[in-house]
Structure 1
Amino acid sequence: MQTDVLIVGGGLSGLALADHLARQGRDFLLVEAQDRLGGRILTQEFSGGAFDLGPAWFWPGQPRMAALAERFQIPVFGQFSTGDLVYQEQNGTVQRGRGYASMEGSYRLAGGIGSVVHALAKGLDPVKIMTSTRVTSVEHSAGIITAEVDQNGRAQIIKANRIVMAMPPRVIANTVSFEPALDAGQMQVLQDTPTWMAGQAKI
């Protein structure tokens, strides 16, 4: 399998890049380890309501999110900032009454943040997207990238002119081998780069 740009990761960053390349008429292939797109973004529907189980807000200083909402005609509304907040600490202690004031001024999307993921994915050629496909190794030399992937237990080779790793740096360090190997400094940078909100869980 051959492509110009191999995008590894089908979260918002990978999808936005795929959308950008598609609108330029560029050749690309996007691979995602999970069986769905969106990465850390996951919006679930319960009893007719959309609940964001991952990222939920965006802010006035994030014009790209506002532009996507406008482009796909997704209604935007202000985050409610009144009411009670229940928060459980790591040791099990339950805190109440902290309120939502810290989120005042932020925005939400009707249908959840996942509506942006669905809109971006809908505009892409399904042939250019491979889910349940994990990159296991990357061999890089002058002018060519060779990536080995595991798609549902079946090994495949993808050759590309460029590769974009649109995934958390620590995940890259822990799951992908490189040939030639990245030097110790590069690996340390990958390991030391935190994943935003990685330690948080929502219910």
Structure 2
Amino acid sequence: MKRKITIIGSGFSALSAACYLAKSGHEVLVFEKNETIGGRARQLKKDGFTFDMGPSWYWMPDVFERFFADFGKKTSDYYELIKLSPAYRVYFGVNEFIAIADNLDEIVATFEAIEKGSGKILREFMAEAQSNYDIAIKDLVYRPGVSPLELVTIETTKKIGQFFSNISRDVRNKFKNERLIQILEFPVLFLGAKPSDTPSFYSFMNYADFGLGTWHPKTGMFDVVRAMESLATELGVQFFVNSNIEKIIVENKTAKAIVVNGERIESDLVLSGADYHHSETLLDKEHRMYSEQYWESRVFAPSSLLFYVGFNKKIENISHHALFFDTDFYQHAKDIYDEPQWPAEPLFYANFPSSTDITAAPEGMESGFFLVPLAPGINDSESLREEYFDKIIQRFETITQQNIKENIIFKQSFCKNDFVEQYNSYKGNAYGMANTLLQTAFLRPKLKSKKVRNLYFTGQLTVPGPGVPPALISGKLVSNLIDKQFLKV
């Protein structure tokens, strides 16, 4: 039987769920508060420059292929992928960097040249990481987080020790060179927690990095948003932008409608792909599953200070993705998680999409995206933003040995206050809730409300967790639960 389903938000998880639910035959309406769809993956166009405002790393291409295959499609039906070579560079000092190649053999050779004997160890480490990837990404993450028994399989019981150790300890037991250690610890930062708080099992992120490589949709990550919108539209999904959701109406403990820009929209089922904490504030207090104390006690992934910058010349000595680890990696992590404050000497990330995509900047110019991870809930002001922009640009100029500040013709910042205002993000977090041991799978906020019938959630604060591929999976998981409910009726 066809049901009317209203979806709040239009990020990757909401788009994914919309496609699956429409495929099941439901009438699906998606409401987005901002003027364009995509959630945090929106696009910024200004003065001839184009920027992905949020996600910029295309990892785990198999997850994207699996999503489109569910609809009899391929990613190539919608967008072209370019494998980046090198995948990225990690800078440690003045024109001193390690380039990560686009294949494991070259990466092994790089490790061996830096630390004798580490090449063989890396191959062994990667074999284990691939095994974990096969278990996690091909199986475990496609389970809905309903029961702890979902984690109990023949394969996971063989790896039980990895759930009680951590990435940092595991890597340090195998490698001695500090730079190599930091490169191996870097991928789990996408999971939103310190390597020392991330179970060893999550080494599957290293396989996503070194094993599967780093890709780039030809004209940016927004290509994926367009692809999913196109697929959803083909399936009959309707989209409404500039549609602020003010309340979820509950009658007789059942979600009955949403209020959008003052108008009541009736619904057989409500699914929120918006920030989970914010979504619950749209409910009267008695209908919320989680208290403010609960949210306060969770470990959240960082917020970010972002700059979208247009330069009137091409930038030298750089790659598409670049990590600047020339300051204390562990002090910055401490400033995010242990003693939240603005870091004195922040690590930062720079992305130059126009080095791959000629449409990202006018001819002869460059588009640059700079990111500094920050503690969620931190104080945010224009003066602090400018202070930190000056810090990172000065270091960038020194490390890459060139002057670029005088070549800036466009700059726009985005930080904690913007995450709150534009995405209703709890404490302005950028990536969701961290995947620590006590915030994994069934220990994360639930996809289905236990207090309100016909109310569901999806996205980075629920299962499986932060990141674009997990968001696609989250949409599939919640749509499966909804389909099962309707089959019982």
TM over 0.5: yes
Q: Which has the larger radius of gyration?
A: 2
1:75 is aligned, of 77, 80, 83, to 80
For residues 65 and 271 of structure 2, what CA distance do their matches in structure 1 show? 24
My pick for the range that moved more, 23-32 or 137-146, is 137-146
- Deviation of 1:53 (Å): 2.8
2:226 is aligned, of 118, 131, 136, to 118
- Deviation of 1:79 (Å): 2.8
Instruction: Describe the SS at the equivalent of 1:201.
Output: strand
Contact 2:11 2:40 in 1 (8 A): yes
- Deviation of 1:84 (Å): 6.0
1:166 is aligned, of 273, 283, 304, to 273
2:242 is aligned, of 132, 141, 151, to 132
Matched, 1:199 2:315: no
- Deviation of 1:8 (Å): 0.5
1:80–1:133 Cα change, 3 Å: same
Aligned residue in 1 for 2:30: 30
**Percent same amino acid among aligned pairs?**
16
Number of residue pairs the alignment of both structures matches:
188
Matched, 1:10 2:10: yes
Instruction: Describe the SS at the equivalent of 1:21.
Output: helix
**Which runs of at least 4 in structure 1 moved beyond 4 Å after TM superposition?**
44-50, 82-87, 94-100, 186-197
- Deviation of 1:39 (Å): 0.6
Aligned residue in 1 for 2:381: none
- Deviation of 1:166 (Å): 0.5
Higher fraction of helix: 2
- Deviation of 1:186 (Å): 4.5
Aligned residue in 2 for 1:90: none
Contact 2:45 2:51 in 1 (8 A): yes
- Deviation of 1:57 (Å): 1.7
1:97–1:54 Cα change, 3 Å: farther
Cα RMSD between the aligned structures? 3.6
1:106 is aligned, of 198, 214, 228, to 214
For residues 244 and 287 of structure 2, what CA distance do their matches in structure 1 show? 19
Instruction: Describe the SS at the equivalent of 1:25.
Output: coil
Aligned residue in 2 for 1:59: 59
Q: Deviations over 1:66-98 (max 9, x none)?
A: 3446263422122343776789xxxxxx99755
Contact 1:11 1:40 in 2 (8 A): yes
- Deviation of 1:177 (Å): 3.7
For residues 113 and 18 of structure 1, what CA distance do their matches in structure 2 show? 19
Q: Where in structure 2 are there 5+ consecutive unaligned residues?
A: 69-73, 101-182, 184-208, 309-489
1:170–1:199 Cα change, 3 Å: farther
My pick for the range that moved more, 116-125 or 43-52, is 43-52
For residues 88 and 258 of structure 2, what CA distance do their matches in structure 1 show? 50
My pick for the range that moved more, 109-118 or 48-57, is 48-57
For residues 193 and 95 of structure 1, what CA distance do their matches in structure 2 show? 39
Letter in 2 for 1:63: D
- Deviation of 1:23 (Å): 2.4
Q: Where in structure 1 are there 5+ consecutive unaligned residues?
A: 88-93
- Please, what TM-score do these two structures have when normalized by structure 1? 0.71
